[in-house]
């Protein structure tokens, strides 16, 4: 009887979480389209990460998700777009440099160095919005903090990559989940492990001060 009750409780929680992800995805699409796609992607994505961060800190879900999402996405609009545009610009620049290197220069050492920079920039992207949501910093300092987290949080970074790969595999075999919430599903592992990396770095800073 207890086992049946426990199974029912787990099933209820999973169903509730899936419904929450469905709502988050709907709101994500709504605000992305409302702000004209490019201007909406970064603040809407940051808002979903904020929703996960709140749940990790046991803050509970807002009673009315729609007005909460609207408030947070508008708060995130300016700074999240600044960070997103700068990061996209950096990635495009490095990608073009890689293309030029492979097509015209054809120097293996330079190409390897540019590839390493491009991969590092991709990894920094995983931490950029979480760092913005956690701290109140000058614009360029968010990149500095994201780099620091990437360097000192290798296990969490690897776990994020694996989490995204596992999510991709699950969604490939269960495409129905794409309808329910592929955006929250992809953001959940990166949110969780970036949150763990942030907490770990804060603990190390406290130990260093004591």
pLDDT per residue as tens digits for the range 58-112: 887 787 899 999 999 999 999 999 999 999 999 999 999 888 888 877 778 888 8
Phi first, then psi: give them for residue 175, nearest 5 degrees. Answer: -65, -20
pLDDT at 9 over 70: no
The pLDDT value recorded for residue 178 is 82
Please name the residue ranges forming H helices in the chain. 2-34, 38-56, 65-100, 108-134, 139-152, 154-173, 176-209
Give the CA diameter of the chain: 71
**What are the angstrom distances between the C-alpha of 167 and each of 73, 175, 176?**
25, 11, 13
Please indicate whether residue 16 or residue 48 has the higher confidence score (pLDDT): 48
pLDDT at 1 over 70: no
Gap between the Cα atoms of 43 and 158, Å rounded: 25
Residues 109-148 pLDDT 10s: 888 899 999 999 999 999 999 999 999 999 999 999 999 9
Q: How far is CA 28 from the centre of its chain?
A: 13
Gap between the Cα atoms of 16 and 160, Å rounded: 24
């Amino acid at each position: 009887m207890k086992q049946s009750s426990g199974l029912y409780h787990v099933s209820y929680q999973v169903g509730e979480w899936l419904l929450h992800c469905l709502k988050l995805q709907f709101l994500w699409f709504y605000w992305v389209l409302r702000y004209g796609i490019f201007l909406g992607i970064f603040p809407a994505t940051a808002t979903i990460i904020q929703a996960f961060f709140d749940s990790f800190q046991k803050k509970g879900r807002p009673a009315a998700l729609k007005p909460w999402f609207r408030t947070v996405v508008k708060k995130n609009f300016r700074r999240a777009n600044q960070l997103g545009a700068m990061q996209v610009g950096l990635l495009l620049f490095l990608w073009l440099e890689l293309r030029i290197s492979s097509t015209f220069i054809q120097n293996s050492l330079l190409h390897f160095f540019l590839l390493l920079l491009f991969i590092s920039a991709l990894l920094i992207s995983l931490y950029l919005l979480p760092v913005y949501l956690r701290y109140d910093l000058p614009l360029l300092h968010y990149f500095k903090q994201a780099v620091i987290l990437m360097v000192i949080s290798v296990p969490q970074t690897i776990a994020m990559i694996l989490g995204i790969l596992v999510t991709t595999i699950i969604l490939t075999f269960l495409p129905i989940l794409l309808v329910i919430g592929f955006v929250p599903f992809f953001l959940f592992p990166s949110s969780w492990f970036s949150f763990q990396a942030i907490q770990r770095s804060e603990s190390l800073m406290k130990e260093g001060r004591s």
